[in-house]
C-alpha cells in the first residue's frame, strides 16, 4: 500500500492544505457553487456597507459552509476507500456529513437574511421600511422556531418523512403564521382575508394531496397562529 507523504515542515503542511482545497473545488460541483455564493454574498455585504461586526459574522457563517462541505467530501472519500459495497453504516456516515452541510447552509441563509433584509441600508430603500428591519429578523427567527418544533414532532411522532407527512403539517404552520403576522402588521381587513385564503389553500392542498390528514393540518395551522399570538402578547414584534 502506498504511504501518504508526511509534511516535512509548516510550508509542506500549508501546501497540502491548499491542494486539498483545490481538489475539492475541482471535483465537487457543490463546492464550486458554494464558492460562487460566498463571492456574491460578500459583494452584497460590501454594497450594503455592513459594519465590521456584521461582516465578521458574514465571514464566519459562509466559511462554516465551506468547511462543512470539505468535511463532507473527506468523509465520503474515507467511506469509499473502506468499502465499495452498500453498507447501512457507510450510508449513515455520508447522510450525517451531508446533514452537517445542510445545517451550515441553512444557518448561513438565515443569518444572511437577517443581515441583508434587517439591515438599515435596506430600510433606506423606502421610507415605510424605516422600522421594518427588526420585524424581518423576528419573522425569520419565529419561522425557524416553527420549523424546528414541526421537525421534532415528526421525529417523535414516527409518522411520514422529514419533508412530507408527519403528525403536524409544517406547510400549514408556516403559512398560517405568515398570514397571521400579515394581519397584525397591516391591520387591513381586505389584506387579512387574502392572506388567510392563501393559507387555507396551502392547507387544503396538503389534505387534497393526501400528504396530511385534516387533523394534522388543523394542528399545524393552530401552531402557526399561536406563535403569532405569542409574539404579539410578549411584544416580540415591534410597534407598527
Alpha helices (H) along the chain: 10-27, 29-47, 52-82, 88-117, 120-123, 133-157, 170-186, 189-208, 214-233
Say how far apart CA 224 and CA 201 lie, in whole Å: 15
C-alpha to C-alpha distances, 61 to 48, 58, 112, 160, nearest whole angstrom? 17, 5, 9, 31
Question: What would the grid cell of residue 228 be?
Answer: 403569532
69 among known catalytic residues: yes
Give the CB-side neighbour count of residue 71, counting CA atoms within 13 A: 16
Instruction: State the catalytic residue, choosing from 54, 69, 132, 216.
Output: 69
Catalytic residues: 69
Amino acid at each position: 500500500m502506498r504511504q501518504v507523504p508526511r509534511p516535512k515542515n509548516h510550508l509542506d503542511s500549508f501546501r497540502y492544505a491548499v491542494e486539498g482545497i483545490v481538489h475539492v473545488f475541482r471535483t465537487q460541483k457543490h463546492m464550486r457553487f458554494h464558492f460562487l455564493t460566498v463571492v456574491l454574498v460578500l459583494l452584497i455585504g460590501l454594497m450594503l456597507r455592513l459594519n465590521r461586526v456584521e461582516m465578521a459574522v458574514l465571514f464566519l457563517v459562509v466559511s462554516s459552509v465551506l468547511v462543512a462541505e470539505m468535511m463532507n467530501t473527506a468523509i465520503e472519500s474515507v467511506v469509499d476507500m473502506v468499502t465499495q459495497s452498500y453498507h447501512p453504516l457507510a450510508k449513515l456516515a455520508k447522510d450525517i456529513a451531508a446533514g452537517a452541510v445542510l445545517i451550515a447552509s441553512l444557518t448561513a441563509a438565515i443569518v444572511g437574511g437577517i443581515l441583508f433584509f434587517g439591515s438599515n441600508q435596506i430600510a433606506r430603500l423606502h421610507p415605510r421600511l424605516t422600522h421594518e428591519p427588526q420585524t424581518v429578523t423576528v419573522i425569520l427567527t419565529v419561522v425557524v422556531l416553527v420549523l424546528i418544533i414541526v421537525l421534532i414532532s415528526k421525529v417523535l411522532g414516527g409518522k411520514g418523512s422529514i419533508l412530507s407527512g408527519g403528525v403536524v403539517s409544517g406547510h400549514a404552520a408556516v403559512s398560517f403564521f405568515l398570514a397571521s403576522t400579515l394581519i397584525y402588521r397591516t391591520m387591513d381587513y381586505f389584506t387579512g382575508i387574502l392572506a388567510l385564503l392563501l393559507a387555507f389553500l396551502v392547507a387544503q392542498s396538503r389534505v387534497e394531496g393526501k400528504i396530511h390528514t385534516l387533523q394534522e393540518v388543523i394542528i399545524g395551522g393552530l401552531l402557526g397562529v399561536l406563535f403569532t399570538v405569542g409574539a404579539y402578547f410578549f411584544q416580540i414584534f415591534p410597534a407598527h
